[in-house]
Structure 1
């Protein structure tokens, strides 16, 4: 849960690096909260079948959209890529597959142009 809260604390921080653990725990908790809120929407009658969203799940999605993009960009930075690679998601199917592969790669072991390695913050190059 701490990883999820850390991403929210860095709400719109697009600079720096994010390790795999930070990104994937954010994704995990995001999915859990979305499913729970969708169930609550279904039970309260605020779910709209046409849009696929309910009131609570829609508001939650809007609230975490910017931190989700920001942690994705920081994760790309950790693998030595520029944040502009995020736009590969605009390519149907293949873009999402490539993006998923990028998110699974381990980050650069040493410092890169985006900052020190978040996995080993005290081992910066001398």
Structure 2
């Protein structure tokens, strides 16, 4: 997709669709460096949710929890990696991802971070 000027962020952002976000998600499987924009994170999250939903239906028809469990395990590490890269995009250390371990509040804080506008221009993570 085209690069567009994001005036609110003060810099260029790359627009990604669901398919491209999913490709980026799996091509950066264990990449914890660099930055990921909001579109990349949220489109990938939506795609993973829809795939999980479909696999859950297949598992229900088969009467066993197989495909959903395998998919969840396969996407665990890249899910953490994209979250860390998204934190880098707002100039926060990836270690902030560990706040997810705090019940309820941790998840809410992470969601708040994930919806933030990116740091304008380059930051210490790229």
Q: Tell me the TM-score normalized by structure 1.
A: 0.84
Residue of 10, 24, 27 corresponding to 1:9: 27
Q: Deviations over 1:32-69 (max 9, x none)?
A: 000100000000111xxxxxxx1000000000111100
Structure 2, gaps ≥5 residues long: 1-18
Root-mean-square deviation (Å): 0.6
2:62 maps to which residue?
A: 44
1:62 maps to which residue?
A: 73
Alignment of 1:87-126 (within 5 A): 87-115=98-126
**Structure 1 residue 2: deviation in Å?**
1.3
- For residues 20 and 70 of structure 1, the distance between their equivalents in structure 2, rounded to whole angstroms, comes to 14
Q: Tell me the TM-score normalized by structure 2.
A: 0.84
Q: Which structure has the larger Rg over C-alpha atoms?
A: 1
2:12 maps to which residue?
A: none
Runs of 4+ in 1 over 2 A off after TM superposition: none
2:94 maps to which residue?
A: 83
**Aligned residues between the structures:** 108
- For residues 96 and 10 of structure 1, the distance between their equivalents in structure 2, rounded to whole angstroms, comes to 23
Asked if 1:27 corresponds to 2:16, the answer is no
- For residues 45 and 92 of structure 1, the distance between their equivalents in structure 2, rounded to whole angstroms, comes to 31
